[in-house]
Amino acid sequence: MTKTWIFESKPAILSAGISGGPFEKESPFAKHFDFFSDDLYNEEKSFEKAQRSLIEKSITNSLEKGQVTESEVDALLMGDLINQLTPSGFAARQFDIPYLGLFSACATSMQGLALSAALIDGGYCEKVLTGASSHNAAVEKQFRYPTEYGGQKPPTAQWTVTGAGVVLVGKSTDPLAQAYIEKATIGRVRDINVSDPFNMGAAMSLAAADVIERHFIHSGDTVDDYDFIVTGDLAEIGHSITKDILSERGVSIPDEKFLDCGKMIYGNRPEVLAGASGPACSALMIYGYFLDELKAGNMKRILSVATGALLSPLSFQQKETIPCIAHAVAITSHKGGVV
């Protein structure tokens, strides 16, 4: 029976390193991020190398704030959207930490957090770093057109976040513990028959609804047990469709409780169209803003549901629809969880 993973010992997020680009510096949530590159190159020679450097910066910041050296970290779990996870793999080269590459597209952040919690709770690791990243120009180049081409996009399109969010995960007894990882539900690949790569939110809606519904069924939790249910990067259209699907399935989430990082991160800037996307979207918002709110006790418990589209330029050329995935992780401000 596919079920929710329960982390009995409640592994804790000990520190976060959050980097962004110049556009992210203008986010209403920028005060929750800790480094911004001056431009999309961050003193590197390519966008992919810039992305690698942002990951390195986030890892270094997370290590520093977590008061550990890399030799004290047992594993580094990361992923991104670039072919063969180039930025993540090359960033991992800079650190003496065992590396596990992950790919759930923009749902990679929560795949990493769920696996990290299992590795700590199961007793295989003491401290683990996990994160996800993306770079607007690197992704545009790979999946769409060079930005210089100036191609127009439909209003359903989303804006890929530039940045990297990395957290150090350890034991609940650690004095640096900021929030606790309580349980996780791993998603199944779902396909709602959307083939338009400029409408990823709609494509991802079914996978998001599926994992949220399964999380409530398998964990026994209800919507009332959470302050917020926060999806990764569904943006305006996808978020609204997800709410409709859940409602049809008898899972009713009040609007004020149902948030989306892709709708939030840039505020109301019209140039981002339907909203933000990219593995960094949920990584920056969950490990930046939401972690700070949990740490401060302003939120008691959230369900973080990162959402990813598993398409590739190749699958688009081969006229496939877009399979999608989402993973849900319950994070609490109190070690015992919220009763």
Residues 42, 19 contacting (CB under 8 angstroms): no
Choose the binding region for a copy of itself from 112-120, 150-158, 172-180, 262-270 (rule: CB under 8 A): 112-120
Q: Does residue 234 bind a copy of itself (CB under 8 A)?
A: no
Nearest to 255 by CA among 240, 265, 270: 240
Q: Does residue 215 bind a copy of itself (CB under 8 A)?
A: no
Max CA-CA distance within the chain?
54
Nearest 10 degrees: Cα torsion 212, 189, 280, 198: -110
Applying CB under 8 A, among 18, 33, 59, 121 the residue interacting with a copy of itself is 121
Of 63 and 264, nearer to a copy of itself (C-beta) is 63
Q: Does residue 3 bind a copy of itself (CB under 8 A)?
A: yes
Q: Does residue 198 bind a copy of itself (CB under 8 A)?
A: no
Nearest to 134 by CA among 99, 158, 100: 158
Two structure tokens written together for 275: 């909203």
Applying CB under 8 A, among 55, 102, 192, 331 the residue interacting with a copy of itself is 102
Q: In the bound complex, what is the minimum distance in angstroms from residue 311's beta carbon to a copy of itself?
A: 7
Q: Does residue 101 bind a copy of itself (CB under 8 A)?
A: yes
Q: Does residue 337 bind a copy of itself (CB under 8 A)?
A: no
Kind plus residue range of the DSSP H or E element containing 327:
strand 324-332
Of 314 and 339, nearer to a copy of itself (C-beta) is 314
Helix (H, G, I), strand (E, B) or coil at 112: helix
Residues in the chain: 339
Choose the binding region for a copy of itself from 99-107, 160-168, 174-182, 279-287 (rule: CB under 8 A): 99-107
Query: 326: burial class by Cβ within 10 Å (0-12, 13-18, 19+)?
Result: buried
Residues 260, 232 contacting (CB under 8 angstroms): yes
Q: In the bound complex, what is the minimum distance in angstroms from residue 26's beta carbon to a copy of itself?
A: 29
For residue 4, the Cα-to-chain-centroid distance in whole angstroms is 19
| Binding residues vs a copy of itself (CB under 8 A) | 1-3, 5-6, 45-46, 48-49, 71-75, 79, 81-86, 89-90, 92-93, 95-105, 111, 115, 118-119, 121-126, 185-191, 310-315, 318, 320, 323, 325
